[in-house]
Amino acid sequence: MSVLFRKQMVSLALVAPLLLFLIVFFAFPLFTMMKSAVSDPVATQALPASTNALSDWDRSSSPTSEMSAAFVEDLRQINDDQLFGDLVRRLNSAKAGFRTLITKTRTAVKATAGPIDLTAVDKRWADNSYWQVIAIATSSTITDRNLLAAVDLERNSSGAIDTIPAGASANRTILIRTFTMALAVTAACILIGFPFAMIAASVEGWRRQLLLGAVLLPLWTSLLVRTAAWFILLQDTGLINSTLMFLGLTTEPVSLIFNRVGVVIAMTHVLLPFMVLPIFSVLVGIPKTLMPAAASLGAHPVRAFLAVLLPLALRGVISGSLLVFMSALGYYITPALIGGAKDQMISSVIAYYATGAANWGMAGALGLVLLVATLLLYVVYLRLSAERELKP
C-alpha cells in the first residue's frame, strides 16, 4: 500500500463524519424534497390495469368498454384505504367532483361481481373530461403539476401551460412579496450597517469591542426570544409607541406590529450582524492613509468616500448583502409572529403545505422554486464579482 494512498485514506477518514452528516442531513432530505415535488406515482400504483388500457386512448373519442372494465377491475382490487385516499385526493385536486364520483363508484363496484355499466352508476362517466384526468394521472409517475402550481400555472385540458385563474392561488404574489421584503431588509441593513461598520473600524480599543459586542450580542440570544422582544416593543401600548406619544410626536399609537413595517424592523435587527461583520472586516483591511491621501490630493470628504472608500468596501457590502438576502428569503418565525396575514413569506406557505395540508409535493415544489431563484441570484453575484476581479 503506497504512502500516498494511506495519506488519502487518512484524510478521507477525517472528513468522513462531515461528509456523512451532509449526505444524511442535507443532500438526502434535499433530494427527497425535490423528488416529492415532481413524483406522482399514486394513480399508476392504484390503477395498474387502467394505466395499461388508457395508454392507447386518444383522449378525444368516447371512453371504450375496455377502459371501463379495467377501471372497474382496479377499483375492486384496492383494499388499501390509505392508497385509495391518496388516489381520491390526487384526482380531486385535478378536477373537483372526483371525490363523490369515485367513492360512489367504488361502493357500487364492490357491491357486485362481474362487469358493470359505469354510466349507469353515475352519468358523469360519460363525460370525457373525467377520463382525461385519469389518463393524465396514470400517463406518468413524474409530474410538473406541483412546480407549475408553485408559480400559479397549470396544464389545461389540452395539456398546454396556462395561468391559474386570479384568486385561486397567491403563490406568485407571495414569492414576489418574499423577494421584495428580503430586498427591503437588505437595503435597511446596508443603510444601518455600513456607517456602523465604518465607525467600528475607525475607533480602537474598548470602543471597538463595545460596538462589535453590541452587534454580536443579539446573535447569542435565540431568534424566538429576539422576535418576542420586538413583539413587546412594537405593540400599540409598547415602549416605542408610549415614548412617541410621551414626546408628543404622535397622538395615536403608530401601527408597528402585524404589518410590513414591524417585520422589516425586526428582521433588520436580527440580520444586521451578517451585514456589519463582512463590511467591518473589509474596512479594517483598508490602509488608514488612503483617505488622508485622497484629501491631500484635493478630494472633498464626500468625494473621497465615493471614489476611494466605497469601491474598496464594496466587496464586503456585496457579501454582506448576499448573506442577509439569502437568510431573509427563508425567514419564518419573525413574519409569522410580527407580520399580519398579508406579510407572510413563502416559508410560511411551505410550512402550511408540509405540516398543515400534508401535501409534500407542493411543499417540495415551492422549496425548489425558492432554491432555484436563490441559486440564479447567486450566479448573478458570482458573475458580477468575477468581472470585477478580472478587470486589469
Partner 1 sequence: MDNSFIRFDDVSKSFGALKVVEELNLDIGKGEFVSLLGPSGSGKTTILMMLAGFENPTSGAIWSDRKRIDKLPPHKRNMGVVFQNYALFPHMTVSENIAFPLKMRGTSRADTSERVKRALDMVQLGALAERRPSQLSGGQQQRVALARALIFEPEVVLMDEPLGALDKQLREQMQLDIRDLHKRLGLTVVFVTHDQTEALTMSDRIAVFNHGKIEQIGSPSEIYDHPSTRFVAEFIGETNLVAGSVHSIDGHEAVIRLENNEVIKVVAKDRLRSGSKVVFSIRPERIGLGAGPGNTLETRISDVVYYGDHLRLLLSGGGQSFVVKTDRNRLPPSVGDSLTVSFLPSDCWAVDA
Which CB atom, from 120 or from 297, has the smaller least distance to partner 1? 297
Which CB atom, from 156 or from 289, has the smaller least distance to partner 1? 289
Q: How many CB atoms lie within 10 A of CB 51?
A: 21
Residue 156 as a binder of partner 1 (CB under 8 A): the answer is: no
| Cell of residue 275, nine digits | 451585514
Member of 290, 372, 376, 384 binding partner 1 (CB under 8 A) = 290
Task: Assess contact for 99 and 92: CB atoms under 8 A.
Answer: yes
Kindly state the smallest distance separating residue 8's Cβ from partner 1, in Å.
36
Which CB atom, from 134 or from 304, has the smaller least distance to partner 1? 304
Instruction: Find the helix packing angle between 310-329 and 260-284, rounded to 10°.
Output: 140
Residues 333-392 that bind partner 1 (CB under 8 A): 392
Residue 102 as a binder of partner 1 (CB under 8 A): the answer is: no
Helix (H) or strand (E) holding 155: strand 153-155
Task: Assess contact for 133 and 98: CB atoms under 8 A.
Answer: yes
Burial (Cβ within 10 Å: 0-12, 13-18, ≥19) of residue 314? middle
| Cell of residue 160, nine digits | 398546454
Which CB atom, from 225 or from 307, has the smaller least distance to partner 1? 307
- DSSP 8-state class, residue 308: I
| Alpha-carbon span 258 to 335, nearest angstrom | 9
Which CB atom, from 69 or from 299, has the smaller least distance to partner 1? 299
Member of 29, 159, 213, 301 binding partner 1 (CB under 8 A) = 301
Kindly state the smallest distance separating residue 281's Cβ from partner 1, in Å.
16
Residue 298 as a binder of partner 1 (CB under 8 A): the answer is: yes
Residue 292 as a binder of partner 1 (CB under 8 A): the answer is: yes
| Cell of residue 148, nine digits | 407549475
Chain Cα centroid distance, residue 276: 25
- DSSP 8-state class, residue 355: I
Contacts of 332 (CB under 8 A, 6+ apart): 345, 347, 348, 351
- DSSP 8-state class, residue 3: H
Member of 220, 287, 355, 390 binding partner 1 (CB under 8 A) = 287
Residue 312 as a binder of partner 1 (CB under 8 A): the answer is: yes
Residue 311 as a binder of partner 1 (CB under 8 A): the answer is: yes
Residue 304 as a binder of partner 1 (CB under 8 A): the answer is: yes
Which CB atom, from 308 or from 328, has the smaller least distance to partner 1? 308
Q: Name the β-bridge partners of 142.
A: 39
Q: How many residues bind partner 1 (CB under 8 A)?
A: 20
Q: Choose one: 128-136, 204-212, 297-305, 354-362; the region binding partner 1 (CB under 8 A).
A: 297-305
Which CB atom, from 70 or from 308, has the smaller least distance to partner 1? 308
Residue 289 as a binder of partner 1 (CB under 8 A): the answer is: yes
Q: Choose one: 57-65, 132-140, 264-272, 302-310; the region binding partner 1 (CB under 8 A).
A: 302-310
Residue 295 as a binder of partner 1 (CB under 8 A): the answer is: yes
Kindly state the smallest distance separating residue 282's Cβ from partner 1, in Å.
12
Instruction: DSSP for 72-123, please give it.
Output: HHHHHH---HHHHHHHHHHHHHHSTTHHHHHHHHHHHHHHS-S---HHHH-G
Chain residues that interact with partner 1, rule: CB under 8 A: 287, 289-290, 292-301, 303-304, 307-308, 311-312, 392
